[in-house]
Every structure is written in structure tokens, then in C-alpha cells.
Amino acid sequence: MIRFTLVAALLLCPGGVRADDSAEFRPLFNGQDLSGWVPVNTAPTTWSVRDDMLICSGKPIGELRTDRMYQNFILELEWRHMKPKGNAGVFIWADDITARGVPFHRGIEVQVLENAYGNTQSYTTHGDIFPIHGAVMTPVNGRGGSRAFPTERRSHPSPLWNHYRIICQDGSISLAVNGKVVTHGTGCSPRKGYLCLESEGGIVHYRNLRIKELPDTPVAEDDIAIADRGYRCLYTGVDLSGWTVANGDASGWRSKDWILAHEGQASGANEAASTDAISTEERFGDFGFVFDIKLNDASGTPRVQLRGTEATEIAIDPDDELTSQHLAPTGRWNRFEGTLNGKSLTLRLNGATLFEGKSLSAAPDKGPLMVLPDGPLEIANPFVRALTH
């Protein structure tokens, strides 16, 4: 009962805590660089620092996250959109990398929309909170779904500043917009994880990001987000930097924001398709990997070579008996995840294990990550990590 009373007071009090608590906060952004933050799947040009502000270009769609997890806390920040109809967000309790087939994390999103975006029965521009990509939350002031809607419209239009105060305690979350609590959610999972700032097309300025950590409380393992596994993204989302095409002509490949797309036609012969292969400039030895692929009816059988040779090849064949059991329907995203350790391959497809320690006796010691298309396809979220021995 004592804990319930404390949490209720934190959530319902407009200020959340006493007015003289500023000394108990610490900065989340130092005003000079990205120390304490990890660009997850964006370009070096996406995030910059100027005049004590953290500036987001909005391109590509993606995320910047904290380098450590948080459970119970009070987060404050100021933001402003520099163009009408801008879109962005703050993610709470997120995983280390983005979810399958999307440029966003699993977590709880606190909406950051510019007023001209408009308000509908499905969303508003004044501080919605909602679970995304596998997270769960029970909304307060919902409309039949999982999204919590604000009780008042309090956000200012571009280019005026807005202040958010987000209180998270034991899986409950509240948002104060410009000084008054207007949105609530309860029963969140995960309820411990990373904090993220979202890039989603709008030019956004952030300043005065600060956090007050509250005491941790017992939390079930299923309610903890996936911790940092050391992954880094191989694709900038704005160009083909770090990649080369076998024939020197990249015309078949397009950087389509967070999607790396091959728009060539089906060849009917993998030998012909290999001339349009794209590979990383970087070479890999023992490494872990993640990549998402979406096929269409003309995609044929694309192949991924983990060290640039047929000996390390993963054929994505919809007609293969084992693969077809776990491959998503055409037009939906698939996530491949695994490790290549020496000559031993472990591979999962959409969470199901295809191989565990499969021997690749002819695998070279090192090589690039190579994609050999057999028609049009889309790739997203190519992550790699070093293996520790």
C-alpha cells in the first residue's frame, strides 16, 4: 500500500516530485557531443550538436539510444520541430537493436509530433503513449486499443519549444506536457531497458535532457529488454557507403531510407545474378550477424555469403523444406540471426533454429558479407558483432 501510494503520487502530481528536486537530476546530454549515446541504425549525419542542442536531421528513419539501461526514473527534456508536420518520438525501455523488419525498437513510445500533423481518432499531436513492436501496455484514457491519449492539448507548434516530463515506475508511465500530466499507461513490458530518440523525417532540436533515477524494484526477466550484445549497423540509410557492387554498377541497388533495395529483375540463373552482388568493404572472421529480408513473388532464391564465398552461403529458398517451415509469407519480413565461429555456423530464422554448429569445412578465415540477388528484394537491419572467446 505504501508503494502504491508513492507511485500514484508520482504519476498524478503535475510536477511529479517536489519543485526543488533539480539537484537530484543528472544530464543525459552534455551539450558537446554524443557521449552516453549510441547511434543504432542511422548515418553519421543524422545526429549533430550545436549551441547545446542535440539536432536530428530526420534522415534516415532510425534511432539513437542511451548506452545503458534504466528501470525507474524521471526523464525531462525539451524539444521543438523545425518544420510543420514533423514526426519523432522518445522510446522508453527499448531493446539494444531494432525489431524485425522495422527501423524502430520494441518499447514504449512517447509521441513527438508537430501540431500541423493533425489529430485523429487514431493519434494526436499532444503526447500519445503506446507500446510498439511487441511491447505491451494498458492505456489510461484509451480508445479501445493499446494507445493512451492525452486528456488535454498542450503542445506548442513549430518552432516553439515543448517540455516533456516522463515518470516511469514499476511498469507505469506518465507524461506531463508543458507542466501538466496528461497521459498515462500501466502494466508495461518491458519495464527496464534503453531510452531512445527517434529520427522519423522531421528536423528536431532537443535540449536540457536530464534524468533522475529512482530506486530499482524487483522485475521479472521477461520484463527486461534485450541488453547490449555489441551489434553495430552496416548500412547508413542514406547511401551505399561501406558497400561495393561486383560489376561496379550500383544501378540495381537503391538506398531507400532504412531499406537497402535491389530493384533488378529475376535472372533465372544465380551465376548471372552474381554480377549484381553487393558486398561490404569490411571483411569478417568470427562474428555474429543479424539481417532482415523481404521477398516478393519475383525474388527467386537470393543468397547471403557470410565470408564472401559459396562455402559460407545461406540460400533463402522458399522451396527448401527446412527454410519454408519458418519463412514468413511473401511480402513480409524475415529475420536471420546467427554466428559464424571458425568453421561452425549457427543460424536462426524468425526465432527458429535452422542450424546449430553446422560445419562449413571449406570456409575461409575472413571475407566480406555478400548479398547475391536473384531478382527484387529488400534488406534492412544488417547488424554485426564481434565474438568473444
Tens of pLDDT, residue by residue over 200-245, are 999 999 999 999 999 999 999 999 999 999 999 999 999 999 999 9
Does residue 32 contact residue 49 with C-beta atoms inside 8 Å? yes
**Predicted local distance difference test score (pLDDT) of residue 189:** 98
d(CA 172, CA 140): 10
**Predicted local distance difference test score (pLDDT) of residue 247:** 74
- Arithmetic mean of pLDDT, 321-340: 96
256-286: pLDDT as tens digits: 999 999 997 655 544 545 678 999 999 999 9
Does residue 173 contact residue 91 with C-beta atoms inside 8 Å? no
**Predicted local distance difference test score (pLDDT) of residue 18:** 41
- Arithmetic mean of pLDDT, 66-79: 98
- Arithmetic mean of pLDDT, 310-338: 96
Task: Please tell me the least confidently modeled range out of 22-26, 186-190, 222-226.
Answer: 22-26
**Predicted local distance difference test score (pLDDT) of residue 61:** 98
Cell 562474428 -> residue? 287
d(CA 87, CA 98): 18
- For residue 20, pLDDT beyond 70: no
**Predicted local distance difference test score (pLDDT) of residue 2:** 36
Q: Which pairing describes strands 352-359 and 344-349: parallel, antiparallel, or unpaired?
A: antiparallel
Q: Give the model's confidence band at 389: pLDDT under 50 very low, under 70 low, under 90 confident, else very high.
A: low
- Arithmetic mean of pLDDT, 20-34: 86
Q: Which long-range contacts (CB under 8 A, 24 or more apart) does 45-48 make?
A: 45/238, 46/199, 46/237, 46/238, 47/199
Q: 54 has which bridge partners? A: 49, 206
- Alpha helices (H) along the chain: 2-12, 270-273, 321-326
d(CA 191, CA 182): 20
Tell me how far CA of residue 13 lies from CA of 19, 143, 175, 179, 247, in angstroms: 11, 24, 11, 10, 63
- Arithmetic mean of pLDDT, 42-49: 97
Q: Give the DSSP per-residue string, 59-116.
A: -SSEEEEESS-BSSEEEEEEEEESSTT-EEEEEEEE-SSPPTTSSS-SEEEEEEE-GG
CATH 2.60.120.560 assigned to domain 233-386? The reply is: yes
Of all residues in the chain, the percent with pLDDT exceeding 90 is 88
d(CA 293, CA 267): 18
332-366: pLDDT as tens digits: 999 999 999 999 999 999 999 999 999 999 999 99
Helix (H, G, I), strand (E, B), or coil: what is residue 32? coil
- For residue 324, pLDDT beyond 50: yes
Residue among 58, 292, 291, 68 at smallest CA distance from 197: 58
- For residue 108, pLDDT beyond 70: yes
Annotated domain spans of the chain: 2-227, 233-386
Q: What is the mean pLDDT of the chain?
A: 92
pTM beyond 0.95: the answer is no
**Predicted local distance difference test score (pLDDT) of residue 3:** 39
**Predicted local distance difference test score (pLDDT) of residue 271:** 52
Cell 558483432 -> residue? 385
In this structure, CATH architecture of domain 2-227: Sandwich (2.60)
- For residue 17, pLDDT beyond 70: no
Cell 547475391 -> residue? 372
Ramachandran assignment for 257, one of left (phi > 0), alpha (psi -120 to 50 degrees), beta (any other):
left
- Arithmetic mean of pLDDT, 87-92: 98
Q: Do domains 2-227 and 233-386 have the same CATH topology?
A: yes
Find the helix or strand (DSSP H, E) in which 43 lies. Answer: none
